[in-house]
Amino acid sequence: MKGFIIAGAVATLAAGAAAQAGAWAQCGGQNWSGATTCVSGHTCVFVNQWYSQCQPGAAPQPTTLATSTTRAATTSAASTPTLAPGKFKWFGTNQAGGEFGEKTYPGVWGTHFIFPDNNAIRTLINQGYNTFRVGFAMERLAQNGLTNSLDAGYLRNFTDSINFITNAGAYAVLDPHNYGRYFGNIITNTADFQTFWRNLATQFVNNPRVIFDTNNEYHTMSQDLVLQLNQAAINGIRAAGAKEQYIWVEGNSWSGAWTWNVTNTNLVALTDPENKIIYQMHQYLDSDGSGTAPACVNAQIGVQRVVGATAWLRANNKKGILGEFAGGPNDVCKQAVRGLLDHLKANSDVWQGALWWAGGPWWGDYMFSFEPPSGTGYVNYNNILREYI
């Protein structure tokens, strides 16, 4: 989550003006005004009410849409479309709180910061959610320098939360929610960053259900430095002996999916001896993509903002995860979120899943709160999200 800086609405689909849509591009959907036929070897395949896609080797399917806002689309059984096959590996929520109180370090547990409520986690796991991205502050874990030993008290509280999640059979993502910074300053010493990650990964080396997230939302920093910091984290994690765990790398420009294919192209050079890199992107659906307003641009904006990233992942033979997404409590956003998730699921060869922003016990009436039983996001979206489990 962030206060967003935008390079431009790159994902607004310039391809719409082309005579034919390219491979994996959009070719139909409610209010779609672009190309409705595909380049040779591809067919326009109905995915959902808001999105059809040029897929290779697919049998022709209708792209006409019902005017209803429900998910049922056509009137005859012969032409009823079905969603493209796919299954998410990871689907769940972010869990915010450990990074709260960012102006007060180290702070006091229960006063300045908090970790997830185990009862809320259990409720979500019982409903089928299997992945929880748990935020923490590097300044609390390594209090006097990135290479220093980890603070025992903060580490204990954090580890207790992680172990509760993984002992219940779910995945726990370790999320340093630092934006590529430490005490507010851009991290430039990649050796120190590597040491931090070696120290942290050592604590979880024997837990295969842990996932390492290199850092939340790098932004307004050197693109080469973002590459080097991600690689340093990978190197530190593997040097700790953590071989089984996946590593989620993040990009510059707040790790936005809608700018990924023009901003973070150099991250294709990242290497991992265990070949378990997952490219984590974030995407919000309000006008500036910051996730600070309840209104979504339109019902198609979810798909429109990730198609470029989908193409980038497939072209580079990479796997991705939508590590943050959300929508406001209104019908337009609900349609946009469904369209987004349908697109990810239809392209599950490259998209491994998605995590809602966010759960956590201190959200109160925050518009995206996914804290059961009464969080605004939970009340409005739990039934929708459970369709994708």
Q: What angle do CA 220, 131, 246 make, to 5 degrees?
A: 65
How is 255-278 classified by DSSP, letter by letter?
A: GBHHHHHHHSGGGGG---TT--EE
320: nearest Cα among 281, 289, 357: 281
Distance between CA atoms of residues 62 and 158, nearest Å: 51
Residue 324 a catalytic site member: yes
Greatest alpha-carbon pair distance for the chain in Å reads 67
Residue 205, burial from CB neighbour count under 10 angstroms (0-12, 13-18, 19+): middle
List phi, psi (to 5°) of 89: -80, -40
Question: Looking at 139, 217, 250, 371, which residue is catalytic?
Answer: 217
185-186 and 181-182 beta bridge pairing: antiparallel
Q: Is residue 385 exposed (0-12), middle (13-18) or buried (19+ Cβ within 10 Å)? A: buried
The rounded distance, in Å, linking the Cα atoms of 212 and 318 is 17
Q: Is 250 an annotated catalytic residue? A: no
Distance of CA 285 to the CA centre of its chain: 13
Residue 187 DSSP SS3: coil
What six digits make up the tokens of 227?
A: 């590459």
Side-chain-side CA neighbours of 329 within 13 Å: the count stands at 13
Q: Which of 99, 139, 250, 324 is catalytic?
A: 324
Cα dist. 136→38, 101, 113, 148, 349 in Å? 46, 11, 9, 17, 30
Instruction: Tell me the catalytic residues.
Output: 217, 324
